[in-house]
Chains A and B, each alone.
Chain A
Amino acid sequence: MNATIVIQGVDVFHGQGAQRFHAVKQASLSIAPRETFGLVGGSGSGKSSLLRVLAGLSPNWSGSITMAGEAMPPGQRPPRAFHRHVQMVFQDPYASLNPRHTVDRILSEGLALHGFRDAEQRIRDVLDQVGLGPRFRFRYPHELSGGQRQRVAIARAISLEPQILLLDEPTSALDASVQAEILNLLMTIRQQRPVTCVFVSHDLAVIAHICDRVAVMQHGSIVEHLTADELISRQVSHPYTRQLLAASEGLSGIDPAA
């Protein structure tokens, strides 16, 4: 099996003792190299919890996970080198950038930490690639719009040339026109780099647009696996997926019947 991400029987917990919450139950999936995989569900479905485990940010899990050929140790934080290959973009670009750091510093930190020697050149390249250019390099986050901030967050993630890019609702805090720009940027990055993506969202239209395959989550369990084509042609079997489809018809994307 030649998959980049293999997840088998993974349980994720929040908290400890009596307050322990079983956020993800027995999740299993495997994601092929250069695939973009969608995780869909409502709030509390466990999709973000699973993503944070994959990002190495939440050690409270059990089961087996292999990322880019390396097994993740359950119950502990992964070694630094892990983060060189696995990067994450957060939902809220207003919260994911340190307000006291310039774009330059935000981008330099990861490069310095992982011993990149050509940091200077990389920062310039990556700013160009996310469509910001050098004039944004020494700005502070509060001087940027939401879309520009999300571009900085994406630049930070791809500057390390990760093999795996994890995206936690990267467009849901943005306006529709900015969402389109960020989705376009992500598709360009995917074409130019050999990167495997996991895209978490509640928005089926966005998921259908950018993903190859999808897992639908409800109450911490994966209830259905679908290809994007099945999603678009509504060949779904689980009632929860149907509900999601019905809701997203009106909320995003234009109902073809209208």
Chain B
Amino acid sequence: MSAAADSLIPNSRREARLIQLRIGLRRVLRNPSTLVGGILVLLLLVMAALAPLLATHDPMAQSLVDRLTPPGAQHWLGTDQLGRDIYSRLLYGAQPTLMIVILVIAFSAPLGLIIGMVAGYMGGWVESALMRLTDIFMAFPRLILALALVSALKPGLTNAVIAIAITAWPSYARLARAETLALRHADFVEAARGLGQTGTRIVIGQILPLCLSSAAIRATLDMAGIILTAAGLGFLGLGAQPPMAEWGAMIGTGRDHIFDAWWVAAVPGIAILLVSLGFNLLGDGLRDVLDPKHHD
């Protein structure tokens, strides 16, 4: 207990939470990975949110006269085969990318956590059944399963989200089960039982908070993969449908001109690379920051 911690004695629940938040934030800012990753992710957020303000052109406006213009003063990052401004499309393309990531995580992480925690806590045949189901989903390569699902449903952004989410939850289930198994007989869980708490309350009140940090790390690391899968689906024409600007689809259309107009595919490619890198760095850094073995 350092002197710094002593000077911060919280007097209410709210204050305690704020102080925790401040300590956490300070740790995040001090870690180079989280800092760089955070900046890249923040950039993505700003791009998506302020796309209408930052864009120089209408992302849908075609101008066949200007098609495949190289980067220059008029079109900062050039134009594509329909003469649309790539810079503006990149900005607007951040929106579906971000939406896919958020929706997939919002759907798959809670689902996986619930399945894993229930399996770990109940044990017995419930655990066997749930974990075999998880194994089945894990056995398929993610992109293949997503491909199969999307083509079975109908190409489109919503179905891409559903498909990716269905392939994303098993890793959370595994993680939550492993944590729950380790915690199921921890003294503090027994103590909660000794107070009279039962099943659901123990899982949500005692075990969930301890699974959250590893799930958050997993989620940030996962986001890069989700972006790539979404881009892959877009590239194959199974994700966002034209004329919507989506990074994967942008690469897909740029493929035909890769030798004479490299920028059409390269610009969204670099964007995907940077954002994936950002999420990965953030996840790595969060693991350092949140893992209790690294401090105290």
Contacts and interface: CB of A to CB of B under 8 A. Distances in A.
Is A–B contact present in the complex under a CB 8 A cutoff?
A: yes
Contacts of A52: 190
A216 interface: no
Given A83-B196, A143-B5, A138 B15 contact: yes
A96 B210 CA distance: 14
Given A100-B210, A138-B10, A138-B12, A95 B195 contact: no
B209 A98 contact: yes
Contact of B191 (A80, A84, A88, A102): A88
Contact of A96 (B13, B15, B187, B198): B187
B244 interface: no
Interface string B166-210: 000000000000000000001110111111111000000110011
A83 B210 contact: no
A139 B195 contact: no
B193 A143 contact: no
Given A102-B13, A138-B15, A80 B188 contact: no
B196 A113 contact: yes
Contact of B187 (A90, A145, A160): A90
A240 interface: no
Contacts of B197: 109, 113
B196 A97 contact: no
B15 A92 contact: no
A102 to B, nearest CB: 5
A51 B205 CA distance: 25
B16 interface: yes
A109 B195 contact: yes
A46 interface: no
Contacts, number: 81
Contacts of B141: none
A69 interface: no
A118 to B, nearest CB: 17
Nearest to A157: B194
B210 A99 contact: yes
A92 to B, nearest CB: 6
Given A98-B209, A104-B16, A135-B9, A55 B186 contact: no
A158 B198 CA distance: 20
Contacts of B15: 138
B292 interface: yes
A98 to B, nearest CB: 4
A56 interface: yes
B205 A109 contact: yes
A91 to B, nearest CB: 8
Nearest to B189: A98
A44 B239 CA distance: 61
A82 interface: yes
A95 B194 contact: no
Interface residues of A, number: 39
Interface in A144-180: 145, 153, 156, 160
A98 B212 CA distance: 14
Interface string B4-28: 0100011111011000100000000
Nearest to B9: A135
B296 interface: yes
A110 B195 contact: yes
B265 to A, nearest CB: 46
B74 to A, nearest CB: 55
Given A109-B195, A110-B195, A138-B16, A97 B190 contact: no
B1 interface: yes
Nearest to B208: A100
A140 B191 CA distance: 17
B196 A99 contact: no
Contacts of A57: 190, 193-194
Contacts of B5: 143
A153 B12 contact: no
A99 B20 contact: no
A160 B195 CA distance: 9
A16 B205 CA distance: 29
Contacts of A160: 195
Interface string A112-148: 0110000000000000000000110011101101000
A193 interface: no
Interface in B209-239: 209-210
A67 B39 CA distance: 60
Contacts of B292: 99
Interface of B: 1, 5, 9-13, 15-16, 20, 186-188, 190-198, 205-206, 209-210, 292, 296
24 contacts: A56-B193, A57-B194, A82-B196, A83-B194, A87-B194, A91-B187, A95-B188, A96-B187, A97-B188, A98-B209, A100-B209, A100-B210, A101-B209, A102-B16, A109-B195, A109-B205, A110-B195, A113-B195, A113-B196, A134-B11, A138-B10, A138-B11, A138-B12, A140-B20
Given A52-B190, A55-B194, 14 more contacts: A56-B193, A77-B198, A83-B195, A87-B194, A87-B195, A88-B191, A98-B192, A100-B210, A109-B195, A138-B9, A143-B1, A143-B5, A145-B1, A160-B195
